[in-house]
Amino acid sequence: MIDAGEHGRPLRVAIIGAGPSGLYAAEALTKQKDVAVRVDVFDRLPTPYGLVRYGVAPDHQKIKSVTAALQRILEHPHVRFLGHVEFGRDLTRDDLMCCYDAVVYAVGAASDRNLGVPGENLPGSRSATEFVAWYNGHPDSDVTAWTLSSTGVAVVGAGNVAIDVTRVLAKTVDELRDTDIADHALDVLAHSAVSDIYMLGRRGPAQAKFTTKELKELGALADADVIVRSEEIVLTPEDEAAVTDPIVRRNVEVLRGFAARSLTGKARRIHLRFLVSPVEIVGESEVEGVRLEHNRLDEKGHAVGTGEFETLPVQLVLRSVGYKGRPLEGVPFDARTGTIPNEDGRVIRDGHAVPGEYTTGWIKRGPSGIIGTNKACAVETMAHLLSDLTMLPRAAGQNDITALLDERKVDYVVLADWLELDRHEQEQGKAAGRVRVKVVSRTLMLQLARARARAADANARA
């Protein structure tokens, strides 16, 4: 193993974002044997794992179990977690360029896309992202923000996030109770008035983005019937050709099975609709309905309005039409794609890829793929970082960023603090027969995370 250049010290890399993309980048750096590295992984939250903790649905614990592997990355002796540190507020790009040889932006896509239709800003028209953050107990989410007093809900989009929110709305509380869903969400869901959930795909079943496992789950809920109109899942000749794709073929099979079902009188109904686009969200002072235009597919598979309309009686509209990245201060940003402009992970500044700044995950390539997709994405970016070694602008500033954080009185947390909070949540969960009970308040998170340090302090003084 070589040290990083003539400086005779390991390469210092800062990764912004402790979600899967940032952690897979840390793993790619520490796994290789050619260059000695020290990696600091920052997150604005006191908790690591990003969307695994705050995006993956609480009833998908198998997907969340990837945290065991992500924790091992954080435990690597050359990786340090520095949570509750916000880029742009606590640290600037210049601070980082001063202390590190390379910076990797792995901040994901925290915002969401709009529909761009009239009425979108009416009370009751909201984003699925907000709802997901709320039921997952994100500390920035207002615990009182949702009441679920609507009987009809439209979920716009035909991706896996749309399926997640549809399923959470349709499940009984008993189907969610043993998960790590936030307590406040469980309380509200227990009194939910929701009876009809309309999931709206603007194209046909062959173009839907959801995956079969997630689709199938909708047909196996304790107290929700699933309704599919057979006329909306008729395939075009082009679609028939696409059915060679196994995901499409299985999706179509499952949907045909749903269409053949009869209602069984369950309390809730999930209406899976295709070839419909919201053209207006209607209502005087709040959402009273969503006006849909029926679509057909053109020869390129794009949705084209037919001039036929209908209005669904809903009081809540959740748009679930994709995530979008947010700009970081001092970092190039393409507002059209919601990503950091890059060449295979090298950040592009003033038209050129610049050695020293990199990006990975959704902020690099847009919000697509499964968690594992971020591994290959990070490996690609880190390979470029390592191949740029001789061109990196070597950091001349102070060695340890924590000196700067202390100077600025930034209340950062380290891995041991997070593990303390993690232990607390799991213990509370065990006592309640649940996976974990999430702590939602940031203040309480910090207090609990510090319990270990306080105890050590007291011991030292005793």
User: Which residues lie near ligand NAP (CB under 6 A)?
Assistant: 60, 115, 156-162, 164, 201-203, 207, 209, 214, 277, 320-323, 367-370
The full DSSP string for 140-198 is: TS-TTS-----SEEEEE--SHHHHHHHHHHHS-HHHHTTS---HHHHHHHHT----EEE
Q: Which residue has the tokens 């896509």?
A: 109
E strand intervals along 229-340: 268-273, 276-282, 289-297, 303-312, 316-319, 323-324
Cα–Cα distance for residue pair 334/231, rounded to 1 Å: 40
What size, in residues, is the chain?
A: 462
Q: Which residue, 23 or 371, is less far from ligand NAP as judged by CB?
A: 371
Q: Which of 87, 50, 24 is nearest to 377 (CA)?
A: 24
CA dihedral 248, 254, 260, 263 (to 10 degrees): -130
Q: How far is the CB of 56 from ligand NAP (least distance, A)?
A: 7
Q: Which residue, 60 or 423, is less far from ligand NAP as judged by CB?
A: 60
Q: How far is the CB of 158 from ligand NAP (least distance, A)?
A: 4
Element containing residue 24 per DSSP (H, E): helix 20-31
CA dihedral 397, 402, 408, 413 (to 10 degrees): 150
Q: How far is the CB of 121 from ligand NAP (least distance, A)?
A: 16
Q: Are 195 and 359 in contact (CB under 8 A)?
A: no
CA separation (Å) from 50 to 43, 110, 130, 194?
9, 10, 15, 29
Q: Which of 336, 329, 288 is nearest to 312 (CA)?
A: 288
Q: How far is the CB of 29 from ligand NAP (least distance, A)?
A: 25
Kindly state the tokens that stand for 54. 């705050």
Q: Which residue, 20 or 332, is less far from ligand NAP as judged by CB?
A: 20
Q: Which residue, 7 or 213, is less far from ligand NAP as judged by CB?
A: 213
Q: Which residue, 199 or 445, is less far from ligand NAP as judged by CB?
A: 199
Q: Which residue, 154 or 182, is less far from ligand NAP as judged by CB?
A: 154
The residue type found at 81 is: F
Q: Which residue, 66 or 451, is less far from ligand NAP as judged by CB?
A: 66
Cα–Cα distance for residue pair 265/164, rounded to 1 Å: 23
Q: How far is the CB of 236 from ligand NAP (least distance, A)?
A: 14
Element containing residue 68 per DSSP (H, E): helix 67-74
Cβ neighbours, 10 Å, residue 326: 12
Q: Which of 231, 241, 63, 234 is nearest to 163 (CA)?
A: 63
Q: Which residue, 157 or 361, is less far from ligand NAP as judged by CB?
A: 157
Q: Which residue, 40 or 293, is less far from ligand NAP as judged by CB?
A: 293
Q: How far is the CB of 141 from ligand NAP (least distance, A)?
A: 17
Q: How far is the CB of 5 from ligand NAP (least distance, A)?
A: 38
Q: How far is the CB of 401 from ligand NAP (least distance, A)?
A: 32
Q: Are 126 and 154 in contact (CB under 8 A)?
A: no
Q: Which residue, 120 or 253, is less far from ligand NAP as judged by CB?
A: 120
Q: Which residue, 101 or 164, is less far from ligand NAP as judged by CB?
A: 164
**DSSP letter (8 states) at residue 334:** B
Residue whose beta carbon is closest to ligand NAP? 159
Q: How far is the CB of 220 from ligand NAP (least distance, A)?
A: 15
Q: How far is the CB of 272 from ligand NAP (least distance, A)?
A: 12
Q: How far is the CB of 105 from ligand NAP (least distance, A)?
A: 19
